[in-house]
Amino acid sequence: MTDVSEDRGSRLVEVRNLKTYFFTRRGIVKAVDGVSFTIERGHTLGLVGESGCGKSVTSLSILRLISPPGRIVGGEILFDGVDLLKLDDETMRRYRGKKIAMIFQDPMTSLNPVYTVGYQIAEAILAHHDIPKREAWQRAVELMRAVAIPDPEQRAKSYPHELSGGMRQRVMIAMAISCHPELLIADEPTTALDVTIQAQILELLEHLRRTMNLSMLLITHDLGVVAETADRVAVMYAGKLVEIASTRDIFTDPQHPYTIGLLRCVPRMTTAGQDDQRRRLETITGSVPDLVNLPPGCPFVPRCPEAHSTCRQGEIAFTEVSPGHFVRCVARGSEVIPHPSELAVGVESRAGGGD
Ligand SMILES: Nc1ncnc2c1ncn2[C@@H]1O[C@H](COP(=O)(O)OP(=O)(O)O)[C@@H](O)[C@H]1O
Ligand SMILES: [Mg+2]
């Protein structure tokens, strides 16, 4: 297949200062707290961070699939210039599936066990296209061929439980691309799979990105997964982005102590099989903090080998350490923006002192 890359590079998605909170009895869980990023057409952004950092909530927010007690409380999600947060429900429904598709970690939870996979892909097509059922079935078979499912005519008649995990994920991908979306959100698409199958699925996603000029948001807790697949990587910690840069910069010149910690958990994949020695992410000592009542400043302080007395004195601003490489860390020269309360005190004292 040929590359479709005429308009590769123009901006498709721009998330600005997104805030998604859960209003629970324990307090407000700030799952996503001021997240901003862009995704260019035909590019892949990797969103990486440990479990509980807010990655899934970020992706569900883009699709506007947050339900109570959760709510998107602020920000903008521009898709091709249109703010998704301002669309009426019906228009948003049309965006979902048609322009933006999503695949999840466990295809079993998204596939219906009582229908054949061919039927389910055909249904996904029929949801957005007014075509005869027979034609939808034929397209389903072709999609299964496109995602390299062997013997698709026969496999289309299989039920989900009759397929392997890798094949089921291919079915989900076939369903996701059935309406030629512009953005594919893949939330831990390979986490449940064996390492060799993981590599095959990533290869398939990469192939589809190139041939369909798809933009991708690839979410994973494993930096190894984005190494070969993403153009840029955003590192998320406790509801906030701490670093964003080209994949190459993230791997060769990581800046945030959290990114550096994550990288230590990535196995060196020089030869096949070494992956067995994969260390777990938990090798960063400590764990992701409770997102209710987080203390101000950098949330990584309790686990940070480079923590500084100023890290907690205000919001840490992003600083650009090299072109396109942003980090939020006092030790890397980020500015500390005092809290509104402290600002107010400052203003008062200045006012009091006269001018
Ligand atoms: N329905 C919910 N109610 C309360 N808290 C939630 C809900 N869904 C997610 N959260 C919280 O939001 C935070 C981020 O979750 P999530 O986005 O799923 O993390 P990740 O995908 O990075 O593992 C977690 O602290 C989680 O407990
Ligand atoms: Mg998740």
Q: Given this model, what pLDDT does residue 128 score?
A: 87
Lowest mean pLDDT among 4-13, 99-108, 142-151, 235-244: 4-13
Residue 353 above 90 pLDDT?
no
Mean pLDDT confidence for 238-263: 97
For 109-127, the pLDDT digits (tens) are 889 999 999 999 999 999 9
Other beta carbons within 10 Å of 277: 8
Q: Is 53 touching ligand 1 by the criterion CB < 6 Å?
A: yes
Q: Which residues, including other chains, have CB under 8 Å from residue 260's CB and lie 6 or more apart?
A: 254
CB of 55 within 6 A of ligand 1: the answer is yes
Residue 232, H or E segment: strand 232-237
Which residue's structure tokens are 């429900």? 89
For each of the domains in the chain, give its residue range(s) and CATH number, in order of start. Answer: 39-52+181-353 (3.40.50.300), 102-180 (no CATH)
Token representation of residue 331: 């030790």
How far is the C-alpha of 170 from the C-alpha of 143, rounded, in Å?
A: 10
CA of 52 to the centre of ligand 1 (A): 6
Q: What spacing in Å lies between the alpha carbon of 341 and ligand 1's midpoint? A: 28
Q: Which of 157-166, 247-256, 260-269, 283-292 has the lowest mean pLDDT?
A: 260-269
Q: pTM score, two decimals? A: 0.90
Mutational test site, ligand 1, from 56, 65, 235, max ligand atoms within 8 Å of CB: 56
Per-residue pLDDT at 286: 87
Q: What is the DSSP string of 25-62?
A: TTEEEEEEEEEEEEEETT-EEEEE--TTSSHHHHHHHH
What value does the mean pLDDT of the chain take? 90
Reported confidence tier of residue 284, pLDDT bands at 50, 70, 90: confident
Q: What are the tokens at 132?
A: 């005869």
Residue ID of nearest Cα to ligand 1 atom 5: 22
H helices then E strands: how many in the chain? 12, 14
Instruction: List, for residues 295-310, the tens digit of each pLDDT value.
Output: 889 999 999 999 989 9
In one letter, which amino acid is 45? L
Residues contacting 123, CB < 8 A, separation 6+: 115, 136
Distance in Å, CA 19 to ligand 1 centroid: 13
Q: How confident is the model at residue 341 (pLDDT cuts 50, 70, 90)?
A: low
Confidence (pLDDT) at 206: 96
